[in-house]
Structure 1
Amino acid sequence: MRKPDSLAYVGIIVSTFFWGTNFNAGALIIRHMTPISASIERFLISTTLLLLIFGLQGKLRLSVLRENLWAYVGLGLLGFTAFNLATFFGLQTTTPINGALILATTPLWTMLLAVVFERERIDTARAIGLFFGLLGVGLVITRGDVQMLLALKVARGDAIILAGSLAWAANMVGTRRFVKQATPLENTTFSMLFGTIGLIVLGFMFERPLASIAATPGNIHAAVLYLAVGGSLLAYLLWFRGIHQIGAARTSIFFNLAPVFTMLVSTVLGVPPNAWQLVGAVAVILGVVFASGLVGIPTRARAAQT
């Protein structure tokens, strides 16, 4: 393995660590801050850093922003405003482990939306992946009690985070479909900018963000800073660098490590996963492995040639 590839893999693993521990930090933050105010503080920091660092380097083109303005407005509201609020509101009534496991199914929802809106085909491997992924989520949110699903008695927090996962999947499909001639860095920065504006508007409509932020203890601000710098800025940059170095297919599979890190940190903090969460985690990971194409199922035609 070449040194650049090795560094790319390290960066990808660090990204998934940040994303996995986002749920642990988020669960702590939400005990002391209102959800929209916490989101505003996090993304104001992230967006400002992105604009300053890469704007000064000339890597953010205003021509791209003008050409894709309305796409970025919609994608920002969907992928950053809605997704982030779903995470914080969901963590009020569910566990970090459940949240991370549900979010780990995002590649499956992305695949389904691509089938619906981009006419992609689902082959056997992807169908198997979808089955395992849905099975894993079902086990996590019902603890093996199918009657809960039949009676629609899913926990409110699980349902909210699932909606956030769908919003993020829609953001990814929408970025591919509606944004023209832009780099991943530009997509992230400009979408995050409008997502942050959406959060600020909602914050002043429904909360008192300045008062909430001012009354928050210092250690909670440190957790928000961790989310802003680690879970938003560094995680995205390392992830996109990994895609550039080793390709999207091999990079995407590491997304499955996020709930593993959430479980490890939760265990250290005295809240180990239950049996259904462990079984669900295995099913979700298998689902994304098959859906990503890393495990191929030979077709009849190919099998006949061998």
Structure 2
Amino acid sequence: MNHKLTPSTILFLTIAPLLWAGNAIVGRTVNDLVPPVMLNLLRWSIALLILLPLASRIFRRGSALWTNWRRFSLLGLLGIGLYNTLQYLALHTSSPINVTLVAASMPVWMMLIGSAFFGVSISRRQTIGAVLSIAGVLLVLSRGELRFLLALRLVPGDVLMIIAAIIWSFYSWLLTLPKDPPEIRNDWAAFLLAQVAFGVAWSAMFTVGEQIVGPQEVSWGWPLAAALLFVAIGPAIIALRCWGLGVQRVGPTIAGFFSNLTPLFAALMSSAFLGEMPHAYHAVAFLLIVGGIVISSRHR
């Protein structure tokens, strides 16, 4: 793993949060058109159909997909089934700006999980940076008012995104493990399809549960079709590919810094498309989070 940030790596790690910010905006706009869990299933089912002609060979008998099915099933569960479902659920009670700002705590979780489960040590500088980042997240959760923080009044969407950030951190660290055979690791379409195939299966199970708990109808039409096409190609296939490349090149901790660009992009898009202007506390929170990650990412 080369920890040097090359121009191409920076580009990959910038494209992903840009598209994820768009995913948050679109996910909020289609709230009334499709249930959140079903939205995730439809999104990744379209991605599956797009990837299928490019790497269908991985489904043949005896391929590396089946010999490594436990790993790809876990990656599909964490990165596709759970993380994205939780994000769409969060957007029902929280704004795209808040959802992406809370998710910006992800680098902190990556450091903690890397230390606890993957043997990566945390320096004093990283600890200081983590405190600053957590302070930024608490500022978002409190809506800039101390009384809300003291009363622990959390919007359900904020809590869901904290859980989602922890799940994505585990997913990102698992990407760095050298367990994938060359026939899949060296073929980007095969690597994505192996995860998406299992992710769609998990998402289908979650969708069945959603319909059992509270059946909801889908408002089919061109607006929903356009939204599904965007979230399937951009935030799904392209972003996941770019993120995987970036993580494999520089590791989850450094790559995690770039995830903090997502709330900045989301704030700009919310202002342009949803009329949800960011508040002063959003700016302060963003500076705290980014400042914390910059400090924690520096080597002694």
TM-score category of the 2 structures, normalised to the smaller one: 0.7 to 0.9
| 1:254 maps to which of 233, 252, 258 | 258
Q: What is aligned with 2:105?
A: 105
Residue 207 of structure 2: aligned partner: 203
Cα gap change, 1:19/1:121 in structure 2, threshold over 3 Å: closer, same or farther? same
Checking the alignment, whether the CA contact within 8 Å between 2:172 and 2:247 is kept in structure 1 is: no
Query: 5 Å matches for 1:81-100?
Result: 81-100=81-100
Match of 1:280 in 2: 285
Which piece of structure 1 moves more, 8-17 or 71-80? 8-17
Residues 271-297 of structure 1: per-residue CA shift (max 9 Å, x gap): 111111111111111222233x2x33x
- 2:259 alignment partner, SS class: helix
Contact 1:40–1:200 (Cα < 8 Å) also in 2? yes
2:295 is aligned to: 290
CA RMSD of aligned residues (A): 3.0
In the aligned structure 2, how far is the partner of 1:51 from the partner of 1:170? 26
1:221 aligns with 2:222: no
Larger deviation: 180-189 or 109-118?
Answer: 180-189
Q: What does the per-residue CA deviation read over 1:227-260, in whole Å, with 9 as the maximum and x for residues that have no partner? A: 110001112223445567x744765533222111
Q: Give the Cα separation in 2 of the matches to 1:156 and 1:51.
A: 36
1:178 Cα deviation after fit? 8.7
Q: Which runs of 5+ in 2 are unaligned?
A: 1-5
Query: What's the counterpart of residue 237 of structure 2?
Result: 233
Contact 1:105 1:288 in 2 (8 A): no
Structure 1 residues 257 and 206: alpha-carbon distance in aligned structure 2, compared to 1, 3 A threshold: closer
- Cα distance in 2, alignment partners of residues 115 and 289 from structure 1: 18
After TM superposition, the score normalised by the length of structure 1 is 0.82
**SS of 1:94's equivalent?**
coil
> Are 2:35 and 2:216, in contact at CA under 8 Å, matched by a contact in 1?
no
Distance 1:18 1:231 in 2: 5
Please report how far the alpha carbon of residue 59 of structure 1 lies from its aligned counterpart in structure 2 after TM superposition. 12
The equivalent of 1:121 in structure 2 is 121
CA–CA distance in structure 1, aligned partners of residues 216 and 162 of structure 2: 30
- 1:1-306 correspondence runs (5 A): 6=7, 9-55=10-56, 63-176=63-176, 179-181=179-181, 183=185, 185=188, 186-207=190-211, 212-213=217-218, 215-241=219-245, 247-248=250-251, 252-269=256-273, 270-291=275-296, 293=297, 295-296=298-299, 298=300
Residue type of the partner of 1:237?
R
Displacement of 1:7 = 5.4
**Aligned AA for 2:42?**
E
**Mapped contact 1:18–1:231 kept (Cα < 8 A):** yes
CA distance in 2, matches of 1:60, 1:172: 27
Percentage of identical aligned residues:
24
Aligned length: 288
Equivalent-residue separation in structure 2 for 1:173 and 1:242 (angstroms): 12
